Amino acid sequence: MLDINFIRQNPKIVSEKSKQKGYPVDVDKLLKIDEERRKLIEKVDNLRSKRKETAEKRDEKTGTKLKIELKEKEDKLEKLNEDFYKLIRTVPNIPEEDVLIGKDEGDNQVIKTFGKKPKFSFKVRDHLQLGIAEDLLDIERATKVSGSRFAYLKNEAAILEFALVKYALDVLSKEGFIPIIPPVIVNQNVIEGLGYPEYLSGEGYKIGDQYLIGTAEHSIVAMHMDETFKDSDLPRRYIGFSTSFRREAGSYGKDTRGIFRVHQFDKLEMVSFVKEEEDNRENEFLLSLQEKLFQSLEISYQVIKMCTAELGFPTARKYDIEAWIPSQEKYREVTSVSTTGDFQSRRLNIKYQTGIF
């Protein structure tokens, strides 16, 4: 979440930037509750001091009166604290200054292209046609077993996936990333802490009071919640491999052919914990590593810088890499990389401490 001091000093900026992202918030209401809360905290502290003094003087009559008044104020403060934390968690992360203001994906910015678009002397078949012809995909049986938007990946396609995973792990391990296979089920407080309201409202698969992860980020970032890093421990970088699950609740009718927008998929995820002043540089570093992988595989792609409306609740800046798909004759998103600044670390109580230990 945002620092309340920043919100106090920049209420108009927070309100405007929140609207630009599509998450309008009542900043005035938040600040009003914040002011009431601060005043009440001061009163509670004063009453506690007075009660301590009366206890030392053995003034039982005054002590009883103060005890009743203190209990009343503490109960009111508890309610104000609940209202305050509920409201401040509805405030999205604000975009970095270099992010363009936009209303939808049409306002995203192409900042780089790489490679020539391949040309063929024959009609190109798409992945589903090739997958069925070569016995690499089985959508029909997956639908019978699991429902729509599932698939069996078979034969050379299954081997290719593991080869690509191993290749990426080898490349990123040499860059200092720690390989990790995380849990795929997380508690609700983790999803709330990460800041994904859409995941709680239908995008995520819920199992009892827990959730299947939509990306390894969900469980890798949260593994350090309520912990404090030494500054010498940073940067801490992970490359996680996991199966991920998404309902794709808002995408019905889009990309339903083959294995685009499926409910279950395997994914590699880079996660970095860095010092506050290094987050923008790390964002660019992660993008460069993704480009390195695309270029080594000789995949034609373009890099898209997302506008404000396309960032999502916790994100301050985001890039997508879109690969050229010959059968569709268009670029399609394959990977993304973003920074959240200290937004998620505040919500998950992840800190770092400088100095001598």
| pLDDT tens by residue, 266-324 | 999 999 999 989 999 999 999 999 999 999 999 999 999 999 999 999 999 999 999 99
> Could you say which of 61, 88, 115 is where a domain stops?
88
**192 pLDDT more than 90:** yes
Section 225-238 average pLDDT? 96
Q: CATH code at 220?
A: 3.30.930.10
Section 106-112 average pLDDT? 96
**105 pLDDT more than 60:** yes
Per-chain mean pLDDT for the chain: 93
> Could you say which of 56, 88, 120 is where a domain stops?
88
Looking at residue 340, its pLDDT comes to 96
Q: Give the confidence band of 243 by pLDDT, cuts at 50, 70, 90.
A: very high
**Are 195 and 308 found together in one domain?**
yes
Host domain of residue 53: 4-88
**214 pLDDT more than 60:** yes
**Of the listed ranges 163-172, 242-251, 268-277, 314-323, the one predicted with least confidence:** 242-251
Amino acid identity of 318? K
Looking at residue 92, its pLDDT comes to 96
Residue 189 lies in a domain: yes
Tally of domains in the chain: 2
Looking at residue 55, its pLDDT comes to 81
**253 pLDDT more than 60:** no
The percentage of residues in the chain with a pLDDT greater than 70, rounded to a whole number, is 97
Looking at residue 286, its pLDDT comes to 98
**Are 47 and 178 found together in one domain?**
no
**250 pLDDT more than 60:** no
**Are 70 and 144 found together in one domain?**
no
Looking at residue 58, its pLDDT comes to 81
**Are 345 and 266 found together in one domain?**
yes
Looking at residue 1, its pLDDT comes to 86
